[in-house]
Amino acid sequence: MSCPYAAGREPEEQPLLKLRARPLRIALVGNPNVGKSVVFGRLTGRYATVSNYPGTTVAVTRGRALVGAEVCDVIDTPGVNTFEGAISEDEHITRVIVANGQSDLIVQLADARNLRRALVITSQLAAFQKPVVLVLNMMDEARSRGVHVNAAGLARELGIPVVEMVATEGRGLPELRAALSAATVPAVDTTQPATRWAHETTQRFRSIRRRSLGRFQEWIGRAVREPATGLPLLALVLYVSYLFVGVLGAQTLVGLIEDGLFGGLINPWATSLASHLPWAPVRDFFVGEYGLVTMGLTYALAIVLPVVTTFFLVFGFLEDSGYLPRLAIFSDRLFRAMGLNGKAVLPMVLGLGCDTMATMTTRILHTPKERLIAVLLLALGVPCSAQLATIMGILGGISFAALATLFGVVLTQMLVVGFLAARVLPGDRSEFALELPPMRLPQWRNLLTKTVLRIRWYLGEAVPLFLIGTALLFALDRVGALVVFARTAEPVVSGWLGLPATAADVFVMGFLRRDYGAAGLFEMARSGALTGVQSVVALTVMTLFVPCIANLLMIVKERGARTALWILGFVTAIAVLTGTVLNHAFRILGVTF
């Protein structure tokens, strides 16, 4: 028998080693934002992204854990609120894992405060006839709110092990490992509806003594959601983020690294080293105009890296604080006009980190129409971290009006497209009902781990593409294709958009990666090749321009090739059109910035 627990037999002393055809597969299941990814990390030693908002995990992560003397497969799943009725795409992913043969044993994570909602899941899990262990996580937060759960009584009632845990501190994990062998199918009264059973069981085993939270925590929770204080706070958050990313990252750090490290040290050194090379084209390949070191590495490490690092820090802080979902309260009305609801603020804000990841996060939206509109808007107007920062770096140096114009145009464009899409596309939007996670002070360790991993991911993904892109540009330049391309694109680039012909290169780079293109514009602007008006036009077009290759592939994966091609064509047309109108409007009105 491959799975000795399947019959739901009585727990008994387990031999240390069991013979199995394959490792025991343990699925971590539970409501959103109860700490599944933290437990996954604790069990397997692998880091799954941990944040403080529902929907951080939208795909499945697998890892291995040693339990006793046995190696088990552990599966981290997206959070579920229900397995029945209308479920979202990420909930469906979890349902498949629980329902079919992909898992042998289920560890249900629960927020100890929210026992009632957890028990709804427990009762639905019972129907799958798999052994379950129930974990009451965040016992510390529950206690500080005066919530007490009688775990022993609950274990007797359900007939399954119930483990109390504070996963972030590692408390309760040895108990969980020990309890795995005692897991059985939960005993649930199926004669009444799941919600009523959950309600009654909760009342029997949970007692609440009202206790007020810390004064500050209560104040901040209220302050960020009420308009009178919430909107000024939002402005403050944006401003501080701008100072950190746009000024410290894009100006101070970029200046230090680009001028100091690369301009003063690495590039002269590489050039002198390359001067020993006998053949000019090889020399140029490394240190020429499109050189691997002078362009590829400089762009990746000197211009974009400082910016994404500061951005990931700010972003991770906001993610872990629980602030992001609260933005949905303010933006719900706006998103409803675009055929979405406030929940869409999550993928949109995440898009500022990386549009590719955010495209995957659209799974948390409920209807196909909402997911399509969100993917389209992400591809159209949401600049990713690196791009955002280069925008701030260039336009922040020109004037605030330039920056405001760009964001104004892009936002208007998104609103118009969203508004039209809401009316043209078939289907419905879903109603807005979103859980707000508690506000917490982020844990520095998680913030640093997350940032380091994201930077490593950036270096692994972006640097090779920057180098390949540079090599490609070098080759195109050598065979003269770049000149031909620039000449072909000239009527559009110079005529319609009013940009120098060399800007055509930058748009080729922008397709490889948007930030690569933006870095190219950054260089042009710094060397004085672009005027203020040209910078605004070029950056607006680049922001609206086609999604990068990675994002395009993700759209194909999530929404199919036909939709992806359609989005690609549409977005390109809008970008060029907007740039053209903008260019001519500036000229007619005599705007100079």
Partner 1 sequence: MSHLHAGDEGIVAHVVPDGRGRADRLAALGVTPGARIVVRQTFPGLVFECDQTELAVERMVACAILVDTTIHYEQIIQTRSEP
Q: Which of 36, 113, 130, 559 binds partner 1 (CB under 8 A)?
A: 113
Whole-number Å distance between alpha carbons of 466 and 430 = 40
Q: What distance in Å separates the CA atoms of residue 368 and residue 359, rounded to the nearest whole number?
A: 13
CB of 293 to partner 1, least distance (A): 51
Contact 593/401 with Cβ under 8 angstroms?
Answer: yes
Coil vs helix vs strand at 62? strand
Pairing of strands 61-67, 105-111: unpaired
How do 61-67 and 70-76 pair as beta strands?
antiparallel
DSSP type of residue 249: I
Cα separation of 456 and 302, whole Å? 15
Q: Binding to partner 1 by residue 89, rule CB under 8 A?
A: no
Only one of the segments 15-23, 434-442, 515-523, 532-540 lies at the binding site for partner 1 (rule: CB under 8 A); that segment is 434-442
We find the least distance from the C-beta atom of residue 569 to partner 1, in angstroms, to be 32
Pairwise CA distance, residues 167 & 164, whole Å: 9
Q: Using alpha carbons only, give the angle 574, 234, 452 rounded to the nearest 5 degrees.
A: 80
Window of 260-268, 387-395, 435-443, 495-503 that interacts with partner 1 by CB under 8 A: 435-443
CB of 217 to partner 1, least distance (A): 12
Q: Can you tell me which of 436, 471, 501, 568 binds partner 1, judged by CB under 8 A?
A: 436
The binding track of 533-572 with respect to partner 1, each residue x by CB under 8 A or -, is ----------------------------------------
Q: Which amino acid is at 140?
A: D
Task: Compare residues 208 and 282 and give the one whose CB is closer to partner 1.
Answer: 208
How far are the Cα atoms of 256, 310, 526, 540, 580 from residue 494, in angstroms, in the given order? 33, 35, 20, 15, 10
Q: Is beta strand 105-111 parallel, antiparallel or unpaired with respect to 25-30?
A: parallel
Q: How far apart are the first and last CA of the chain?
A: 75
Q: Left (φ > 0), alpha (ψ -120 to 50) or beta: where does 33 sit? A: left
Q: How many angstroms separate the CA atoms of 114 and 136, rounded?
A: 9
From candidates 10, 12, 13, 431, binder to partner 1 by CB under 8 A: 431
Q: Which is nearer to partner 1, 14 or 229 (CB)?
A: 229
* DSSP, residue by residue, 343-410: GGHHHHHHHTT-HHHHHHHGGGSSSHHHHHHHHHHHHHH---HHHHHHHHHHHHHH-HHHHHHHHHHH
| Among 46, 59, 81, 143, contact with partner 1 (rule: CB under 8 A) | 81
In angstroms, the CA 579 to CA 564 distance is 22
Ranges assigned E (strand) in 112-178: 132-137, 147-149, 162-164
In the bound state with partner 1, the residue whose beta carbon lies nearer, of 151 and 436, is: 436
Strand 61-67 with 206-208, pairing? unpaired
Please choose, out of 80-88, 250-258, 275-283, 560-568, the segment that lies near partner 1 by the rule CB under 8 A: 80-88
Pick 134 or 518: Cβ nearer partner 1: 134
Residue 332 interacting with partner 1 (CB under 8 A): yes
Among the listed residues 351, 363, 359, 358, the one whose alpha carbon sits nearest the alpha carbon of residue 543: 351
Site for partner 1 in 248-307 (CB under 8 A): none
- Dihedral of alpha carbons 338, 342, 345, 347, sign: negative
CB 54 → partner 1: shortest distance, Å?
10
Residue 116 touches partner 1, criterion: CB under 8 A:
yes
In the complex, least distance from residue 196 CB atom to partner 1, rounded to whole angstroms: 8
Residue 329 lies near partner 1 (rule: CB under 8 A): yes
**Looking at 15, 85, 214, 590, which residue binds partner 1 (CB under 8 A)?**
85
Indicate the residue among 8 and 230 with the shorter CB distance to partner 1.
230
Distance in Å, CB of 204 to partner 1, minimum? 8
CA dihedral sign, ordered 174, 179, 180, 186: negative
Binding flag, residue 330, partner 1 (CB under 8 A) = yes
In the range 227-256, which residues lie near partner 1 by CB under 8 A? 227
User: Closest Cα to residue 28, out of 41, 43, 40, 42?
Assistant: 40
> Is residue 120 a contact point for partner 1 (CB under 8 A)?
yes
Q: Give the shortest CB-221-to-partner 1 separation in angstroms.
A: 8
Interface pick for partner 1 out of 102, 144, 430, 449 (rule CB under 8 A): 430
62: β partners = 75
Segment interacting with partner 1 (CB under 8 A) among 15-23, 83-91, 126-134, 244-252: 83-91
Q: Which two tokens stand for residue 588?
A: 């007619």
Phi, psi for residue 105 in degrees, rounded to 5: -140, 145
For position 324 contacting partner 1 by CB under 8 A, the verdict is no
Could you give the count of Cα atoms lying within 13 Å of 81 in the half-sphere of its Cβ?
13
Please provide the DSSP assignment of 444-461 as one string.
HHHHHHHHHHHHHHHHHH
Candidate residues 36, 42, 117, 369; the one interacting with partner 1 per rule CB under 8 A? 117
Place of tokens 């501190």: 169
Q: Which of residues 333-352 bind partner 1 (CB under 8 A)?
A: 333, 336, 341-342
Q: How far is the CB of 225 from partner 1 (least distance, A)?
A: 6
Minimum Å distance from CB 209 to partner 1?
10
Residue 25 pairs with which residues in a beta bridge? 73
Candidates 111, 164, 355, 370; binder of partner 1 (CB under 8 A) is 111
Rounded to whole angstroms, what are the CA distances from 51 to 58, 223, 350, 446? 12, 21, 12, 9
Residue 52 corresponds to which tokens in the numbers above? 């403080």
d(CA 306, CA 574): 31
In the complex with partner 1, the residue whose CB is nearer, 2 or 207, is: 207
Q: In this chain, which stretch among 76-84, 96-104, 265-273, 583-591 interacts with partner 1, using CB under 8 A?
A: 76-84
Query: How far apart are the C-alpha atoms of 218 and 214, rounded to whole Å?
Result: 6
136 binds partner 1 (CB under 8 A): no
**Cα–Cα distance, 254 to 307 (Å, whole number):** 8
**Count of residues of this chain found to bind partner 1 when the rule CB under 8 A is applied:** 43
Among 14, 82, 399, 563, binds partner 1 (CB under 8 A): 82
Site string for partner 1, 190-229 (x = CB under 8 A): -----xx--x---xx--x-------------xx--xxx--
Q: Rule CB under 8 A: is residue 147 a binding residue for partner 1?
A: yes
Closer by beta carbon to partner 1, 17 or else 86: 86
In the complex with partner 1, the residue whose CB is nearer, 120 or 493, is 120
Which residues lie near partner 1 (CB under 8 A)? 81-82, 84-86, 111, 113-114, 116-117, 120, 145, 147, 195-196, 199, 203-204, 207, 221-222, 225-227, 325-326, 328-330, 332-333, 336, 341-342, 428, 430-436, 438
